[in-house]
Structure 1
Amino acid sequence: MKKGTFSKLYTLTAAAALVSSLLLPAAPGTAYADRGVVDLWKAIKPLTTIASAMNTGAHPDDEHSSVLAYLSLGKGVNTFSIIANRGEGGQNEIGSELGNALGIIRTRELQEASKITNVHLENLSEKINDPIFDFGFSKSPDETLAKWGEQVAYERLIRKIRTLRPDVVIPAFLNENSTHGHHRAINVITVRAFKDAADPTIFPEQLKEGLSTWQVKKLYLPANEKDYTVSVPVGTYDEIYGASYVQLGEESRFMHKSQGMGRIYDEGPSNSYYKLDQAAVSIKEKESDFFDGIAYSFADLAKEVSGQAGAGGIAAELKKLQKDSDEVIAAYPHFADVAKEVHDMLADVQKTASDVKAAKLSAETKTDLLYRLNVKADQLNKASAEALSLVTKVKPDTGELVAGQTTKVTVSAYNGGHETIANVSLKLNVPKGWQAKALSNASFAQLGYNQTVKTTYEVTVPANAALFAPYAAPSLTADIGYSFAGQAAQVHATPSDAVAVLPAFSLALSPSATVLNTLKPQDPVPVKVTVKNYNPGPAQADITLNVPDGWSVEPKAAPLSFSAKGETKSVAFTVKASATVKPNKYTVTAIATSNGKESRHGAQVIRYPHIGTTYFVQPAELAIQAFDLAVPEGLKVGYVSSGFDNIDQYLQQLGVNVTNLTAKDIESSDLSQYDTIVLGIRAYGFRPELIPSNARLLKYVENGGNLVVQYHKPEDKWKPELAPYPIKIGEPLIQWRVTDENSKVTVLAPDHPLFNTPNKITEADWGNWIQDRSAYNPAQWGKEYIELISNGDPGENEFTGTFLSAKYGKGTYTYSSLVWYREIPALVPGAIRLFVNMVSLHQ
């Protein structure tokens, strides 16, 4: 993309150049501020069609962003993105969060991405530790659905389809061997759902709850330019948005920063291709559009309805709505004129809905019409607020609450347009069991240009309020009602950031996971507990540790006093295991006791500019894995972190002297002072000093050093010649990994020091691994390397390049594709014992 055009995506100039809400990051909830004629167009374009489309995927960032932008922003189609899990099993390119904490980040990124393309987002995964979890790479849809619970996933997908009633459904991926098993699983259940969502014998309990069956009109699969039914012109340049749909789609993809997504595209023609797989309407071999043969406008809907007995009046009203929508578009970009036409159409939609309820239509037709009219009413309410330049806000005094607290929340409405708004009401919505009392008038006769009305509510959180759940709907929202041109409307508002009920005392243990060496069972385990006071004022608490039976802790308790909310203090404990401790897993829990109430949780604050602030509330626990472990005395390791792992911290806990090497260290310091240098996963791609300094690293080995290199992708600037003897990574990457963490491992060089010193590695050490065995295995390597293990997924050829080691000069170079960065934080004993051996070579 040319520099000037890229700038245009961010700062539109002149009249057509008011800053677009699509492109301005702000806080969550109102992440893209409503700005001018561009967002007015975005609000009214959906009024021109009654069609809908759904894209299904497995992970955040799976969505077909360009096509979603084309459908939603370009055509105004009511567009849905249904994503299965939260991406908990992925890597993190912006921080060290993994697992559930990463899932929270990726969910927030997906929410912000969906706002850019004006897409309605839903997830099949409903809560932390949901069955539909990103458990890591899978080669099989059967394995994926077995782990998720096939009926659980399928029931939720059918529920989404029956609730949202899409005309067109498009799974993001094909069910083919070269594709991630999670992607294949979503394809499998989406294709199956085409018929089953319309079958009343499938999940009949949903119908008893009030849902209706729904027959999707068409299902398309991704295709290519040689074999397709529909070509989607995503390269079309939209003058109002000042970008093509590819570029708009990539703006949303840039929000997936933790996955390194988003690319810059030049202007010019481009297309996405889809093949029709199933249809419930008449079809053609080549179609001009997804919606060929499907009612697309109110006029089309009127034609469909007119064929039913007694539906003439309804058909006429639908034709009137077609005229209304045309008049709204014709009034653009004049705000007041658009507002008048929007309110006229809103009145007609409400009248039509009332008449449909009273009409003698089939139940199926009536349900369909009422659903579509309800969608249009919601869209008209949003368009009304945009056309009237009505700015609504929900502002709590604090977004960090505790059970039993009373706080204040202000709901406001500002009129930035030149038309007077009447009958304004400001209503705050709170969860069941909460109390909200308006401290001032919540109704106002009128609201003129450049005026603000506001109401402050006193909100009381119940003593038994549940702690914050990051995937739940916002706890505080507001409905702002008003009227204009004789027609009532309403806008729904949410706070700009998360409002969270947090532990009164948030507890964080350091370390949060550690090893107890059963060769030295009486070595003390130092534990620091950091306590943050979330109470609204001064508070006192006694901090204690709950330890396993037979263990001891000093001190027994530590009193802490806090003078204000937000104050943080720490207390140190020493934990000792019983003399007879056995290899096993143990848990130490921190407890804060105040006025007879206990806090046993910590609140991890997750804050990034592109997603705002949210929280991960979890039990305040220290996980301890006890096992035998020999660590050489005085072992000195230089660690080159890529930012994707924290193995260095665990090595320090084990008693290894670890130095995190800076760019200056790598470029010019005396590397010979380190017994071993370890490169973190993908380090060459994210530490720019490594490639120019690679000769120094190899010289370090040649002079007697021990260099350990963890896995890389080719796109991490990896070249075979970076190793002392060439190592080529296998491609396609999807085929060069072992996803079964329980797969059999055969040791090919049992006498090698890596399996004997200082820890004797046995078959048991390959047990209880998590998520994967290895990723991005080499396909070719120099004959100088010793192949240390053989391993593969069941039924597939085994890899022998997963773990390679070679003498180079006086030293040793080891390249490993084993997923250490997952195993070691999970305290997998065998992985830790083997990693210690690897960094102890020549000791």
Structure 2
Amino acid sequence: MQSSSRNQFTKTLFFLFLILFQIKSFAQNNSGEILQRLEKLNTVGAVMYVAAHPDDENQLFLSYMANEKKLRTAYLSLTRGDGGQNLIGTEQNEAVGLLRTQELLKARSVDGAEQYFTRAIDFGYCKTTEEALEFWNLDTVLYDMVYRIRAFQPDIIVTRFPPDSRAGHGHHSASAFLAALAFDAAANPKIFPDQLSLVKVWQSKRIYWNFYNRGFTNTPPDEGDFVRTDLSIYNELLGLSYPELAAKARSQHRSQGFGAAIRRGERIENFLYTKGERADGDLLDNINTSWTRYKNGELVSMLLKDVINSFNPQKPAESVPALLQVKKALNMVEDSPIVEQKKAELSAIILAMAGVYLEADAEKFIYAKGENVKGQVELLHQYPSPIELVAIEIDGSTKNVGKLVEKNQLETQSFELKLSPNFSTQPYFLEKEPAGNNYQRELAFINLPFQAEPTIKAVIKIDNVDLSIELPVIHKYVEPAQGEVYKKLEVRPNFSVNLDQNVMIWNTTEQKKLEVTVQNNSLLGEGKVKIQAANGWKISPAEVPVKFNSVGERIRVSFDITPSKNALSSDLNVEFVSNNQVFDQSLVEISYDHIPNTSYFPKANLKAIKLDVKTKGNNIAYVMGAGDEVPQAMVQMGYKVTQLSEAEINGNLSKYDAIVIGIRAYNVHDWLAQKNDIFKKYMEQGGTVIVQYQTTGGFSSFANGFSPYKLDLGRDRVSEEDAEVRFLQKNHPLLNTPNQITAKDFDGWIQERGLYFGSEWDSNFESVLSMNDSSETPKDGSLLIAKVGKGQYIYTGLSFFRELPAGVEGAYKLFANLVSVGK
């Protein structure tokens, strides 16, 4: 592809994403919402908010700027939150990143802002800006930030955090540090000049820090130039105050437990000067937000004022002819990102005023690469004059329709869209393996949440004015328990290969069975399932033939896997071969009721671990907390694991060799602390209770907490996954029975050593390990054990919930020792 063609392709993709962002509004709006959108259409200017993670953003500020000041507003999050926790499920890493990306988009659909990202991967908690930039590579993240500033052209930039230790997290401080660099770099044509074929240099007027005191209070700073703004205004057209709107947006971050109470009343925010032109009492001081800032913009402003002043909320369609004149005037205004975005807004408003319902509905929602998508375009409107469905355009070809559609009459036209053999809905940033701690992406998708969906274009004519409308192709159906359900299309590999487990452990040379499910996502076909064996691993049978009789059919096959005595831990790749094509991707679906269903297609890979891990005891009870995969890992170690419900805890616990409490279980189950007397009796009679990390707050004694003795949790953690681990008691059973633990067993840990360590504890506790991040004091609260009667109580902040699913061998040995203690 030539450079000019590639540049145009990139611009087209971006503006297509912008248009699709508006299409959610093509359905009918009420008159208050229409008038709100009209007023916003007559306001130009932009503001960008910058922070590090999903849920870092100040939804109140975004709501206020997008709806009160009516500016184009965006949140640029450096990461997708891939390294964060998950309170509602077991997703980790890229899966929780996808979940949190969708939560951000849902929040933006509430507060009215747009959402962008850089390539940076959230690698977990870190403590300094320097560490964050070392992992990410400063130039890589800065490149993405500069591009988005040049493309978005914000008049002001606001950071959530300061660029120093007050931010409380290295990612947080890095986001502010990078924002200040990008503020200057975006205006310098010598920095990242390759971007200038797509975007122009841009100098924002100022950058401010959305200041907060400890606890995110809104008291003003003690020093420095700052602006105070009351963000608690009530919007009569929306019927909500901005704190109410912000609470609804923040409550979309369910995976982080950020359901928010609706706050009413005054809320003043503070903004502390960072760089650029200082504001005099208002962040928007000396910024022209009218159409007069653009050549030929005065006419647009005048026409829109007339539309707003004459708007009849009972008959919004009466304003359509005047808006069609605005459309003509807008085409005469000089080109800019804001103007392009306003054109998309205007088309959406015209359709809303005319009561236009316009959709492209496919016959199904699951397709394979290269398949034909058949469906129908549906048009219905409430405009007093006929609206013509002129044509349907698909990939450069045009189906001329020329059908006049009367008011309240449904018109349908069939369409057929040919999917590219190379296109799938695999999120673009997961198409390739990351480059270090950054995702890889094509320039066309820079900063976007996802690639644009399959679309077709409908050309309609209202009062002799053509409107070209890009329609995302969706599928809708009726679910008896829910009503009409909309789903985005999923374009999958022709065949997907799923394993019943992704990590398997062998203590000996015993034979184990792996179940593999192959799903046909396309046409009928047949082939063979194979496992690419590594040295020392025997696979039987070598291949299994599979023949599909229907689309969507799933066939399960099994393989026996046996390691030799000298086999080493290996990654075994599983694949389905059909017509000399190799299909080696699995299908992972993320499904929650507050976000759209999301699927991605990681490699079908089995981590086969050859490990000499010894265990004592057999029958383990597990109380699931926020969600983790530790029980499955324990099954791999040979334990029988029973997940206990609230009622089952009241039963006979003596049959269990140990009870393991999952991460954050005391935080998510109010009833769990009420069972502590039962756990205490179990320990007194010889049982072992292991509590994995819990978060701070409300737990200080056994009566209302989680420990039989005083145990205070702090925020101590060790975020350097390769930090030195020191043995405080080398001969302690936890380090010797039944597995001898050495320093080597802490090699290969991922993301962190642990979090939420004990900070102060009763003398009944013994501390077993010590560790710390660079330049910090030793932290001795990661693994604590105390005798309770004949039994044992263990609290550990070590990140077993990450290490075991990742197949970290030393973590398995140490966890086996915890479960085996006292046996």
Partner of 1:21: none
- Matching residue within 147, 154, 166 for 1:159: 147
The more displaced of 331-340 and 606-615 is 331-340
Q: Shift in Å at residue 445 of structure 1?
A: 4.7
Could you say which residue in structure 2 is the equivalent of 1:448?
A: 406
Q: Decide whether aligned partners of structure 1 residues 154 and 76 sit closer, same or farther in structure 2, where only a CA change above 3 A counts.
A: same
> What amino acid is aligned across from residue 330 of structure 1 in structure 2?
N
Q: Distance in 1 between matches of 2:588 and 2:735?
A: 38
- 2:307 counterpart SS class: helix
What does residue 394 of structure 2 align with? 428
Q: What is aligned with 2:521?
A: 534
1:716 Cα deviation from its structure 2 partner: 7.2
Match of 2:600 among 600, 608, 616: 616
- TM-fit CA distance, 1:229: 2.8
- Match of residue 469, structure 1, among 407, 427, 432: 427
Residues 553, 576 of structure 1: 8 Å contact kept: yes
1:11 alignment partner in structure 2: none
Pair 1:371–1:703, CA change in 2 (3 A): closer
C-alpha change, 1:800 and 1:557, in structure 2 (3 Å) is: same
Q: Deviations over 1:775-823 (max 9, x none)?
A: 1122211011001111111101111122110111111111111111011
Give aligned-pair identity as a percent. Answer: 27
Say whether 1:226 aligns with 2:207: no
Deviations 1:723-760 (A, max 9, x none): 11110111xx3xx1110111111111111100000000
Residue 503, structure 1, aligned to residue 469, structure 2? no
- Choose which of 85, 89, 96 in structure 1 pairs with 2:90: 96
Q: Spell out, residue by residue over 1:294-324, the C-alpha distance to the aligned partner (whole angstroms, 9 max, x if none).
A: 112124x27xxxxxxxxxxx5xx43332222
Closer/same/farther in 2, CA of residues 494 and 717 from structure 1, 3 Å limit:
farther
Count of aligned pairs between the two proteins: 757
Residues 719 and 409 of structure 1: CA distance in aligned 2, closer, same or farther (over 3 Å): farther
SS at match of 2:597: strand
Question: Residues 592 and 82 of structure 1: is their aligned pair in 2 closer, same or farther, counting only changes over 3 Å?
Answer: same
**What do residues 86-116 of structure 1 show as CA deviations (whole Å, max 9, x unaligned)?**
1111111221111111111111111121111
**Post-superposition offset of 1:350:** 1.5
Residue 651 of structure 2 corresponds to residue 669 of structure 1: yes
CA 1:352–1:809: 2 relative to 1, 3 Å = closer
Indicate which of 319, 323, 326 corresponds to 2:298: 319
Deviations 1:811-837 (CA, angstroms, capped at 9, x unpaired): 111111111101111111111100000
Determine if the alignment matches structure 1 residue 702 to structure 2 residue 680. no
User: Is 1:182–2:148 an aligned residue pair?
Assistant: no
* Number of the residue aligned with 1:346: 327
Q: Which amino acid aligns with 2:557?
A: V
Q: Which runs of 5+ in 1 are unaligned?
A: 1-26, 126-131, 303-313, 354-368, 430-435
The equivalent position to 2:505 in structure 1, one of 515, 519, 544, is 515
Q: 1:545 aligns with which of 520, 525, 531?
A: 531
Contact 1:399/1:498 (8 A) holds in 2: yes
Aligned to 1:328: 307
The TM-score with structure 2 as length reference comes to 0.88
Judge which range, 689-698 or 757-766, deviates more.
689-698
- Structure 1 residue aligned with 2:215: none
Q: Which residue of 1 aligns with 2:628?
A: 645
Whether 1:568 and 2:551 are equivalent positions in the alignment is: no
Contact 2:106 2:595 in 1 (8 A): yes
Check the 8 A contact 2:185/2:191 in 1, yes or no. yes
SS in 2 for 1:293: coil
Asked if residue 402 in structure 1 is aligned to residue 386 in structure 2, the reply is no
**Root mean square deviation, CA, Å:** 2.3
Maintained 8 Å contact 2:389/2:458: no
- The one-letter code of the counterpart of 2:634 is L
CA distance in 1, matches of 2:25, 2:575: 37
Supply the distance in 2 between the matched residues of 1:706 and 1:587 (Cα, whole angstroms): 34
How many angstroms apart in 2 are the aligned matches of 1:488 and 1:376? 17
Query: CA 1:719 to 1:162, structure 2 compared with 1: closer, same or farther past 3 Å?
Result: farther
Q: Would you say 1:47 and 2:47 are equivalent positions?
A: no
1:329-352 CA-partner distances (Å, limit 9, x unpaired):
223324123323322222112234
Q: Distance in 1 between matches of 2:450 and 2:118?
A: 13
Q: What SS does structure 1 have at the residue aligned with 2:786?
A: strand
Matches of 2:696 and 2:669 in 1, distance apart?
15
- What is the alpha-carbon distance in structure 2 between the residues aligned to residue 739 and residue 342 of structure 1? 56
- Native 8 Å contact 1:396 1:495 kept in 2: yes
Residue among 266, 269, 273 paired with 1:269: 266
Unaligned runs of 5+ in 2: 1-20, 212-217, 429-448, 475-486
Shifted more, 594-603 versus 610-619: the winner is 594-603
1:762-781 residue pairs with structure 2 within 5 A?
Answer: 762-781=742-761
Q: 1:59: how far off? A: 1.3
The letter for the 1-side match of 2:105 is: Q
Alignment map for 1:144-293 (pairs within 5 Å): 144-178=132-166, 179-207=168-196, 209-223=197-211, 224-227=218-221, 229-280=226-277, 283-284=279-280, 287=281, 289-293=282-286
TM score, norm. by length of structure 1 = 0.86
Residues 164-194 of structure 1 show CA distances to partners (whole Å, capped at 9, x for unaligned) of: 1110111121223142111111111101222
Task: Pick closer, same or farther for the CA change 1:255–1:417 going to 2, 3 Å.
Answer: farther
User: How far is 1:578 from its partner?
Assistant: 2.4
The question of whether the paired residues in 1 share the 8 Å contact of 2:625 and 2:665 is answered with: yes
Distance in 2 of aligned mates of 1:85 and 1:411 = 37
Q: CA 1:419 to 1:63, structure 2 compared with 1: closer, same or farther past 3 Å?
A: farther
Amino acid at match of 2:291: F
Q: Which of 378, 385, 393 does residue 412 from structure 1 map onto?
A: 378
Separation (CA, whole Å) in 1 of partners of 2:534 and 2:142: 41
1:801 corresponding residue in structure 2: 781
Query: Take 1:234 and 1:587, find their aligned partners in 2: how far apart are those partners?
Result: 54
Looking at structure 2, the residues matched to 93 and 61 of structure 1 have their Cα atoms a distance apart, in angstroms, of: 14
| CA-CA distance at 1:378 after TM superposition | 2.5
AA aligned opposite 1:605: E
Q: Secondary structure at the match of 2:326?
A: helix
- SS across alignment from 2:670: coil
In structure 1, the residue corresponding to 2:331 is in which secondary structure? helix
TM-aligned CA deviation for residue 451 of structure 1? 2.6
Cα distance in 2 for residues equivalent to 1:172 and 1:251: 19
CA distance in 2, matches of 1:535, 1:485: 44
Compared CA separation, residues 252 and 377, structure 1 to 2 (3 A): same
Taking structure 1 as reference, are residues 67 and 206 closer, same or farther at Cα in structure 2, changes over 3 Å only? same
